[in-house]
Structure 1
Amino acid sequence: MRLAVTGATGFVGGAVARAATALGWRVHGYGSRDWDIATGPLPDPPEVDVVVHAAAAVSDWGDAARIRRVNVDGTRNVAATFPAARFVHVSSASVYDPFRPTVRAIESRAPVTRYLTPYGATKADAERVLAGRPDTVVLRPHAVYGPGDPTLLPRVLGAIRGRTLVLVGDGRAAQSLTSLDNLVAATLLACTGPPGVYNVADAEPVVLQEALAQLLAERGLDVRIRHLPVGLAWPVAGVAERAWRLVGAKNPPRLTRYAISHLAHERTLDLTAARERLGYRPTPTSFRGAAEW
């Protein structure tokens, strides 16, 4: 198997590239220093059977135009670079409607027309770019975690103040999390499985507060979880976002509506399509070894 991987120096793309190499596949990996996908197609690309497109601007804050160049124009450029290859696109469950709970969502419920952030909107538009392309697989993971996690774990740890972690809502919201190992397994299956759109997550949803307690315990942290009502947090977050943008802040406020929409409401995915069509067999959520992440 000849494989090209974008984002090969990143969290997901790097793991996919390593796993494919271990299988004996010939892997062409591309990081941002090798190829800025936002600027155009790659000159003189190698012949490959499959391209895994894992490169993306993953942020719920920042320059909307830049995020669009990477996530939408970049996807278009990668597709143009490898017109004859199977295309495996690592999308996101952020393409589901952020304004209502995601309850065992099936793939046809997204994309939608309204989003809270440029990230969700551009991941949806990237899927639309690929909608007419044959031999394409779109994967939608939610809340990817594991060794080298640059997003989920740092956010949790960064939200701790003293020995307290404040959660918006009652902490009982069910969540489909996705281990890096499960996402890599799904991605490799997608390289040869039937084209289509597939949700990807761990075997079963978890209760948010219970999962966070397990993660913190594995990290050896004695942290008390407190709660903030959604009705209070949502308008406060909206005001904070406007103020931060007004002053041109590079980093988001501690509380954003995007974070609230994902943490205070159910975000669970139906995995039937991936299980039945790809042969996906996910393992349960586990934070074993998180002390080393």
Structure 2
Amino acid sequence: MAVIVTGASGFIGGAIARALADRDETVYALSRTDPEIPGVNFQHWDITEAAPQAVQSLAAKATAVFHCAGISSVSADDDALYAVKVTGTRNVLDAFPKARIVHVSSTTVYSSAEPHAELWEEAGPKDPSEFTDAYSRTHALAEQLVSRIRPDAAILRPAAVYGPGETMFMPFLSKISKKGVLRLPGGGRQKLTLTHVDNVVRAALACLDVPSAAGPFNIGDPTPYRLKDAIVTHFGRMGYDQVVIEGVAKDKALVTAKLGLKVKGVFKRGDRAKLFLVQYLQSDRTYNLSRQQRVLGISTTQHLIPSRFQ
């Protein structure tokens, strides 16, 4: 029997594939590029297309599918995001109709226009038409698809994921700092649930151990962080250049980001990532994690406690 991981060449998919291999599972990585993970078999598949015969032949022996494939950039082309996250998800479900499905989603499926204060899972996904960005909209559409076709599937919603090999939140914050200064809406005083990649892996493996677990699960470190404290701690551990965090008014940051995107768009250089971040940091983003504990039976780890307190 075998366990399938889509998107194993990515940050989260790769971490899950390595953990499954460490458990001596027979693991097949299905992606466009070989992740070259020891103990993991590779089968090429662009999930925006129907499964080739080689992939179809795996269906009979696949006990579980961890669907992690996606595009990490919120600035990606809308059509590309839809093709991977929506069409690709449908193709995966069609290819493995009998396997246990664990779908990796995101807390971006909750409304971006409202504060996220200890949100329970039933707060999302919001109506996809409410989202102004294709990244969040396609995550919501993919979740709706999974819920309709495979109501027995487990859906993992990690908050902003960080850790070795990270590709989005923390690297982007490092990138936008200038001369050692990182300017954030509200000065980084927001309370955020963050998710170390090891906690995502722990939740994913629990979905194998608790096959009856279904529906959405918020996944995160146990206690929300004050963003500026988390940044300073994480940058120090990961070897990023240290920064001084300065504040900018939230409404001013939002107007500036929207104007910057509009101006750059005239020259075909619009980058939606900055606007996405500013919108994300307009309020606290915290999530109720009791379901991951109660149903999956896991306790996650608070990774960003300063070392002197550990």
TM-score, normalised to structure 2's length?
Answer: 0.88
Structure 1 equivalent of residue 182 of structure 2: 165
Question: SS where residue 188 of structure 2 aligns?
Answer: coil
Query: 2: CA distance between counterparts of 1:65 and 1:220?
Result: 33
Deviations along 1:31-83, one digit per CA (max 9) or x if unpaired, are 22311101223433312000000000122213101110100000000010100
What is the CA–CA distance in structure 2 between the aligned matches of 1:220 and 1:233, rounded to whole Å?
Answer: 24
User: Alignment RMSD, CA only?
Assistant: 1.8
Asked if structure 2 preserves the Cα contact closer than 8 Å seen for 1:206 and 1:285, the reply is: no
Residue type matched to 1:214 in 2? T
Q: Secondary structure at the match of 1:65?
A: helix
Question: Deviations 1:195-243 (Å, cap 9, x if unpaired)?
Answer: 1210000111110111112123333644211111011111121122222
The letter of the residue matching 1:179 is: H
The 5 Å alignment of 1:140-159 reads 140-159=157-176
Change (3 A) 1:199 1:45: farther
Distance verdict in 2 for CA 1:195–1:228, change over 3 Å: same
Q: What do the CA deviations read for 1:3-46 (whole angstroms, capped 9, x no partner)?
A: 00000111111111110011011101112231110122343331
**5 Å matches for 1:111-260?**
111-113=125-127, 114-132=130-148, 133-193=150-210, 194-218=213-237, 219=239, 221-249=241-269, 252=271, 255-256=274-275, 258-260=276-278
2:15 partner SS: helix
Q: Which has the higher contact order (CA 8 A, sep 6+)?
A: 1
The residue type paired with residue 297 of structure 2 is G
User: What amino acid is aligned across from residue 265 of structure 2 in structure 1?
Assistant: R
Deviation at 1:261, TM superposition (A): 2.2
SS in 2 for 1:187: helix
- Between the aligned partners of 2:176 and 2:263, the Cα distance in structure 1 is 20
Distance 1:181 1:225, change over 3 A: same
SS of the residue aligned with 2:139?
A: helix
- Say yes or no: does 1:279 pair with 2:297: yes
Higher helix share: 2
Answer with 147-156 or 210-219: which moved more.
Answer: 210-219
- Would you say the 8 A contact 2:111–2:131 is kept in 1? yes
| Alignment partner of 2:72 out of 58, 62, 69 | 58
Superposition deviation, residue 266 in structure 1: 0.6
Q: Deviations over 1:117-153 (max 9, x none)?
A: 1010000000011112142000000110111111123
CA distance in 1, matches of 2:23, 2:11: 19
Structure 2: how far apart are the matches of 1:192 and 1:71? Answer: 26
For 2:19, the equivalent position in structure 1 comes to 19
What amino acid sits opposite 2:51 in the alignment?
P
Match of 1:81 in 2: 95
Secondary structure at the aligned position of 1:79 is classed as helix
Task: Give distance in 1, aligned partners of 2:306 and 2:47.
Answer: 35
Query: In terms of mean alpha carbon deviation, does 168-177 or 64-73 score higher?
Result: 168-177
**C-alpha deviation, 1:287, in angstroms:** 7.7
The amino acid of 2:274's aligned partner reads: L
Bigger CA drift: 68-77 or 155-164? 155-164
The yes-or-no answer on 1:40 pairing with 2:56 is no
The count of corresponding residues between Structure 1 and Structure 2 is: 287
Distance, in Å, in 1 between the alignment partners of 2:300 and 2:123 is 22
Structure-2 change in CA distance of 1:35 and 1:164 (3 Å):
same
2:31–2:47 contact (8 Å) kept in structure 1: no
Gaps of 5+ in 1: none
SS in 1 for 2:304: coil
Distance in 2 between residues matched to 1:173 and 1:110, nearest whole Å: 21
